[in-house]
A = this chain, B = another copy of it.
Amino acid sequence: MTPVSPATSVLDPDRLLPAEESLRAIARDLYELVADAPIISPHGHVSPSLLIEDRAFADPADLFIVQDHYVTRILHSAGVSLSDLGIGGGHCEPREVWRALASRWHLFAGTASGYWLQDELTSLFDLHEELSIDRADAHYDAISERLRLPEYRPRALFDRFGIEVLATTDDPLADLSEHRTLAEDRTFSGRVLPTFRPDAYIDPHAPTFLSSVERLAEWSGSSLDDYDSYLEGLRARREHFIENGAVSADHGVRQPYTEEIEHDDAARLYARAVAGRLTDDEARLFAGHMLLKSAEMSVRDGLVMTVHPGVFRNHSTATFQKYGPDTGHDIPVVTEFTRSLRPLLERFGNEREFHLILFTVDETAYSREIAPLAGFYPSVFIGAPWWFLDAPDAIRRFRSSTTETAGFYNGSGFIDDTRAFLSIPARHDAARRLDAGFLAGYVREGRIGMEKAERIVVDLVDAIPRRAFKL
């Protein structure tokens, strides 16, 4: 009766499907409909150069640990110095870094990172025995060997993963030549799309705000303190992104605060911003205004607007100063949408061609604010569970918290939002399994029929993300 995984593998073919047999049977049927569907990844952080250069990955430690702050943060929480993981420039023997993970593999039990890693090690590297300090070297060698093979190069994996669309995240002044090269490369069939990410250009609190707007003014040949040229510069850069295949603009803001202010007031604020003379409140006001202006630009040029709010970045100053950003200490905060977004929605909420996708790491907002907003405004879509919430139980809570208010068709489809290229299939697969399980529950409880569930499970990986991201 006890359903231990077969001795030969730690990867259960029924993993993440519901425990109860009648549910699992339905879920399995639904999952099979989408298990091999192409991957649409309209938001993420893989670098396009990975696919341009198409070089072999360096080593198992770099691939699975050093480059993945989801992993290093857990090791750090157990007292491992980031320096000892090869972060921040110092040299570490990759095999030692790998052993640091292997000897602490139990820390990852039950975590989303542990799940993805397990999936990757087994599915991609045929390592059917669980990682441990005893097996650390054997695993390291086995992975290293594979990484030298041509079929483990990024492009080969891209094909193997069945990725149809992959969006990157890019600085507004990026020339996007890599995207063009890939688009023109007849040997490469995937769509790799840039994403316009203007945070550093529109939020005076951003550490690089000044240097960013200076570069923008330089590029557009206009005066730094001229607000209209600044707006025109942003519009022109968005145009450049659209010409290179972009479908969305992404906004990582502390709070989804928006404010409508008069042109002349905004111009004055901007002039003082570039002079570094805004108070905190003024900076917040200007950022809120620019989020609203970004929506206006989206209404005009058609770029889908995604908002990723509510993260306190670089919580540990000492860590940030020594190791830089994205080192595991971005911590969520309470996030408010109903009042904060109202000025924006008053202007553009009922525009039918405007798409505004709201993500959150404060899951209390799903049932209270995001689903009710998406259940009314034609422009609003519910972003898939993001970051810490991209995890099996959290994904179930997400579906449970949003579906009854807004249905399945007001969502974005799954978003992996990852810089860990090798984890993309494991992440999408997990989401598909969880959605199949969730739908199975509704079928088993007589809430939707099997035919309907079959349609929905397919739409969730195809029609729904295509519509939300205008693909």
Binding site for B on A (CB under 8 A): 1-5, 10-12, 14-23, 25-26, 29, 73-74, 76-79, 106-112, 114-115, 130, 312, 315-319, 328-334, 336, 338-339, 342, 345-346, 349-350, 352, 361-364, 367-369, 371-378, 380, 388-389, 391-394, 397, 400-401, 403-410, 441-450, 452, 455-456
Contact = CB atoms under 8 A, between A and B. Distances in A.
A367 B389 contact: yes
Given A1-B22, A2-B443, A4-B449, 13 more contacts: A16-B445, A77-B406, A78-B378, A107-B409, A110-B408, A110-B456, A316-B346, A328-B376, A331-B338, A332-B372, A362-B368, A364-B368, A388-B405
Given A315-B345, A388-B367, A405-B391, A19 B16 contact: no
A369 B330 CA distance: 10
Given A338-B333, A449-B10, A404 B376 contact: no
Contact of A23 (B19, B109, B329): B19
B111 A405 contact: yes
Contact of A110 (B5, B316, B345, B407): B407
Nearest to A391: B404
A206 to B, nearest CB: 19
Q: Count chain B CB atoms within 10 A of each CB in A373, A377, A380 and give the residue with the most.
A: A377
Contacts of A312: 338-339, 342
A352 B84 CA distance: 15
Given A78-B378, A109-B407, A346 B329 contact: no
Given A22-B19, A446-B12, A316 B372 contact: no
Contacts of A407: 74, 107-111, 114
Nearest to A370: B331
22 contacts: A1-B21, A2-B450, A14-B445, A16-B447, A18-B19, A19-B23, A19-B441, A20-B20, A20-B22, A73-B375, A74-B375, A78-B409, A106-B456, A108-B407, A109-B442, A110-B448, A112-B404, A315-B345, A332-B369, A333-B336, A334-B368, A367-B388
Given A446-B15, A449-B130, A332 B364 contact: no
Contacts of A16: 445-447
A213 to B, nearest CB: 28
Given A77-B380, A394-B367, A25 B5 contact: no
A219 B457 CA distance: 60
A228 to B, nearest CB: 28
Nearest to A409: B107
A182 to B, nearest CB: 34
Contact of A456 (B11, B109, B409): B109
A447 B392 contact: yes
Contacts of A377: 76-77, 316, 329
B22 A376 contact: no
Contacts of A373: 315, 331
Contacts of A346: 316-318
A20 B17 CA distance: 14
A392 B16 CA distance: 23
A29 B2 contact: yes
A455 B18 CA distance: 24
A352 B46 CA distance: 33
Contacts of A452: 106, 109, 130
Nearest to A80: B378
Q: Return the 8 tightest CB-CB contacts between A and B, nearest first.
A: A12-B446, A15-B446, A391-B404, A110-B403, A19-B444, A393-B400, A79-B378, A73-B376
Contacts of A331: 338, 369, 372-373, 376
Nearest to A110: B403
Contacts of A401: 393
Contacts of A328: 375-376
Nearest to A317: B346
A19 B20 contact: yes
